[in-house]
Structure 1
């Protein structure tokens, strides 16, 4: 489980490329039965926590704070399904990229058109229905979806995944959920510094430094990676690598006893290689062909904020301004550019006392968002929003979160969304019930509206509207050494925007589907500290996702299973970990041959990692990705990484 997190993503307020188009075209396949070996693995894994349920010893709850609304909230009081990946967990697994860290999170589907073009989908929704944040700031700009690429985990403190409609608190593009990547924060007062270096199929390095006192502090992080990559075509051609460098600077200060302010700046440059595709191919092996293609992307983001307490701490005001810029050019051509500016006000009021100790709070949010994109440089758009959030923590163990939002859009029809979350700790037993319901909205993208890359847009598109609910139970067992959670979810999407490779009667390539796209499934997770030395993890997702015509949604596996184990030795100085990822029931459109949608082969991938503290300040690390050199892919034609070994050193001072 994770540790208590900082609140920098929302500020100090705290209480408790190469194929833009045809990825939505579908055909009706026949679903196959779950493989017997998977069923056996699932049943045997699920029996693990049952063996220890009979223990009645007291259990302890981790104090974890997540950015789950207008202001941070204690995870134990949060009604929505969520997952928190801590830096310690990520380090123990030896994971070095964000997309790989997310692959075993319940409810998430991760698919790649090569390592440089990875999408994440939550609960069967589209990739652009998930909002990716870095320290609470949008990673993408100008309405675009954020494609994960060389984003390194070296200076990440934790990753929070919020599942279900989140548009009330995070705006359009968060209709299916949010992934909030929170970077390293100083662990205490004084000066801290450290770094790491790793070799293997290229090299990487990172540094971090901070200085903090009782009035505030400053923090700097930087990371660079030159990954030789692998051949995405799988034809034995040249490797398609990623070269990325990123730096971030943050500063905060308590100006008076009641006023504080701060800023954050982030910049990244990346160059990556990719292969070409053949539209005349007849097989998957012929579809992706080795080519010397490359792209360059630049990302910059920043935030300035100020906060003040009034009414003896009962009312806390916060003003902030965010800006995100993004540039992408391919093969030396002109860059596509996008920008988003967001102005925010938050007024958090304690209904029954000072805000930080109140059991009931009311928060008002005001937002102004402006987007621009070079795809349609004369079609800038803006929206003004009002948000209201109520939270209540009651003595009987019930916590309530209620949110309402109204967006006044200058281009689309105005939208209103709502969200309700409930958390209830059952008296006398280590069980917490949680449930939520809500709505979300996603506005059409610039590409879908105005076209590009040879495709014709449709200015008449309607925003997509999502509604859904989930209900679950969290069980703590073995005296607090284990926790398991079972959640059922169901969501419905109206006006789903789809792509037609052949222009429609009106000459456009994009259209709103009639009817409702239905998604439902089960998320099951468990973590168990089997002994002082051994910890085990389990995550499973069953997903049933179809469009209004009853056709299966592509790149959303029906079954995803992740198993992890971490063994500590030498009095905790060393660790050995392993993870298993099993995926089955995944469909993808074949852009070759008869252009059908077909089921991808199931696969099992095993990764191992180890680390040892050579001294109190130096740690040696090693890891092997795809230990058994599994030949697999999660999109037709695109090979995944084969067996690769890495060695590294980490230092702190």
Structure 2
């Protein structure tokens, strides 16, 4: 019934406009394992957002882009913190990567805030347990943000935008036969708004600056080397918490709080092909650092170091052309956090992957991983993905199953802020499977994908405000956190100039005690459309985001006997619009309006969302 609703709302009205000529698209390659894999051969549910999508929709941040991805929910508490959850899992169960390197360090969950799309080529969202290939913290999925590296020759581009603040970006790159180098820079000064929704309160703004340098070079015909360095600084305003609120409206108190974040990341790598391309090896070293200071009572530093080795063997030919490959990987990870400055977490891991593409349309991916941890239990995870293109039919069946883990963090293990940690905690384990069907219709102009998912979280780590019998404040819950749901994605190229898209997610997420999980909408619907006019010089687009059935905790109604009650947040519908026009072949005028109808809504009790805001900008390329 739901898929019929989506088809009626987005596909059928435009179907009559579809032309007969088939659409041929370049294959999309995912980094969904030890080796890249084409999306059409990947068994796991995934979504790929491209720079063209961002340009047409007029979105400017990663947070905005992810709100139109099935299976993904975003809960923002102001401009400074946006938490993502995949398939109803916790926020720290999704791993965020930037060019394959962890965006956050230590055990820190990555909060999206002001992360610009200006120099992003695409975002890959992989849903379901991914720990086999990406390690702990990827038990629910992965968001991999891939930046622009430039094409052959020399490229340069810049953008500037104004509206309730300003934003700017720049890119320059050069690439020859043996390699290339790219520099990306972005800055944003957001004047913000009153997050507390009080009368006459000051605006809570955000500023962010980022710089990334990356390059690669072919030392010989068979050996390549590369490196990446990234640094981002961010400052944001926040309001104080009222510890004796009587409603959501007075949970926050207007104040002049200000906090600063700093992110540093780097990678160096070396690749070597052997046996006439039949064996491919890669060695890399990643380092990520994070610093935080709220200038009141919290200062934190974290660091992660990862060595990785990967070797791929083509069973029936060169790795690039082989239909079957086997891969082996080794990983050594160390991290630290100032919460427990004398403590470290270390792990050594081994990974095995098999991939096979068969003539009958069947693609198989299997992975197995073992983590040897030094301060908590070891973990073994596995993953199986199947994709089957039905012969003589425009249908592709896909299914996957596997397990993922999330390690205890430093506070949970070692305590802090007056609470006692529990060194006997076990890693959380997520077990899940999904199955779906993808239909390609109208000579490739329409694609509809329907996926059912089923995930169970065991040993969920929980905080207790009162001291437990073992003298700690943290424990592994008994029972299972259950998450079930349906994801639907649909797109239609109605004409050469008119495109429609839709996505819908139904989520049923419960704690082991049967209570609803917070900040996870039960129903999420996204609709979008883009029209190109003036022989491709202009675009006009709009998108609609609807969410309902999301619960949050009423902090102001705490009862020592029953705890904090959970109540449902009001549903909301947000409409955004954007337009662009090429003034010349190299200069484009852009405009967008966020929350066009000034919807009053919230993802988190006590934190209001931004009202209607307009922006205008210019983009240039050379």
Q: Which TM-score band applies after superposition, normalised by the shorter structure?
A: over 0.9
> Residue 59 of structure 1 contacts residue 477 of structure 1 at CA under 8 Å; is this kept in 2?
no
Answering whether residue 162 of structure 2 is matched by residue 199 of structure 1, we say: yes
1:111, 1:447 → 2: CA distance? 23
Residues 208 and 316 of structure 1, relative CA distance in 2, 3 Å threshold: same
Q: 1:40 to 1:473 in 2, by over 3 A?
A: closer
Do 2:10 and 2:500's aligned partners in 1 also have CA atoms closer than 8 Å? no
CA distance in 2, matches of 1:576, 1:496: 46
Q: In 2, distance between residues paired with 1:318 and 1:123? A: 32
- What TM-score does the superposition give when structure 1 sets the normalisation length? 0.92
SS of equivalent residue, structure 1 residue 251:
strand
The answer to whether the aligner puts 1:135 opposite 2:135 as a matched pair is: no
Other structure's SS at 1:248 match: strand
Q: Distance in 2 between matches of 1:52 and 1:71?
A: 41
Pairwise CA distance, 1:47: 5.9
TM-superposed CA distance for 1:525, in Å, is: 0.5
Deviation at 1:61, TM superposition (A): 5.2
Partner SS state of residue 448, structure 1: helix
Match of 2:194? 231
Change (3 A) 1:407 1:601: same
**Correspondence 1:6-405 to 2 at 5 A:** 42=6, 44-45=8-9, 48=12, 60=24, 62-186=26-150, 188-236=151-199, 237-331=201-295, 335-405=299-369
2:249–2:606 CA contact under 8 A, matched in 1: yes
| 2:455 maps to 1:491 | yes
> 2:457, 2:157 → 1: CA distance?
46
Contact 2:365 2:385 survives alignment (8 Å): yes
Q: Residue 233 of structure 1 aligns to a residue in which SS?
A: coil
Asked if residue 621 in structure 1 is aligned to residue 585 in structure 2, the reply is: no
1:610 aligns with 2:579: yes
Alignment-derived partner of residue 602 in structure 2 = 633
Q: Secondary structure at the residue paired with 2:504?
A: strand
Q: Do structure 1's residue 532 and structure 2's residue 532 form an aligned pair?
A: no
Aligned length: 616
Cα displacement (A) at 1:600: 0.3
Q: Is the contact made by 1:555 and 1:588 (CA closer than 8 Å) also made in structure 2?
A: yes
Change (3 A) 1:55 1:607: closer
1:510 paired residue among 467, 474, 490: 474
Equivalent pair of 2:11/2:491 in contact (CA under 8 Å) = no
Relative to the length of structure 2, the TM-score reads: 0.96
CA RMSD of aligned residues (A): 1.9
Query: 2 CA distance for matches of 1:388 and 1:64?
Result: 24
1:550 corresponding residue in structure 2: 514
Measured in 2, the distance between the counterparts of 1:226 and 1:417 equals: 43
Q: CA deviation at 1:493?
A: 0.6
Q: CA deviation at 1:627?
A: 0.5
Q: Which moved more, 1:142-151 or 1:166-175?
A: 142-151
For the 8 Å contact 1:489–1:520, the answer to whether it is kept is yes
Relative to structure 1, the CA distance from residue 332 to residue 548 in structure 2 (aligned partners, 3 Å threshold; closer, same or farther) is closer
In structure 2, stretches of 5+ residues that fail to align are 559-563
1:12 equivalent in structure 2: none
| Residue 565 of structure 2 is aligned to residue 596 of structure 1 | yes
Q: What secondary structure does 2:221 align onto?
A: coil
Encode CA deviations 1:581-614: one digit per residue, 9 max, x unaligned.
0000000111112431000000000000100000
1:19 is matched with none
Preserved contact between residue 218 and residue 224 of structure 2 (Cα < 8 Å): yes
Alpha carbons of structure 1 residues 52 and 341: separation in structure 2 relative to 1, 3 Å: farther
Answer yes or no: is the 8 Å Cα contact 2:518–2:550 preserved in 1.
Answer: yes
- Structure-2 change in CA distance of 1:242 and 1:54 (3 Å): closer
SS for the counterpart of 2:235 is: strand
Whole-angstrom CA distance in 1 between matches of 2:77 and 2:470: 30
- Tell me, yes or no, if the aligned pair for 1:61 and 1:480 is still in contact at 8 Å: no
Alpha-carbon spacing, 1:254–1:125, altered in 2? closer, same or farther (3 Å):
same
Alpha-carbon distance change, 464 to 53 in structure 1, aligned in 2, over 3 angstroms:
farther
Give the whole-Å Cα distance in 2 for the aligned partners of 1:443 and 1:320. 23
Q: Secondary structure at the match of 2:616?
A: strand
**3-state SS, counterpart of residue 452 of structure 1:** coil
Instruction: Tell me the secondary structure at the aligned position of residue 99 of structure 1.
Output: helix
| CA drift at 1:532 | 1.2
The answer to whether the Cα contact below 8 Å between 2:14 and 2:494 also exists between their aligned partners in 1 is no
Give the secondary-structure state (helix, strand or coil) at the position aligned to 1:592: helix
Structure 1, unaligned runs of 5 or more: 1-33
Q: Is the 8 A contact 1:59 1:478 kept in 2?
A: no
C-alpha distance in 1 between matches for 2:458 and 2:19:
47
| Residue 408 of structure 2 is aligned to residue 452 of structure 1 | no
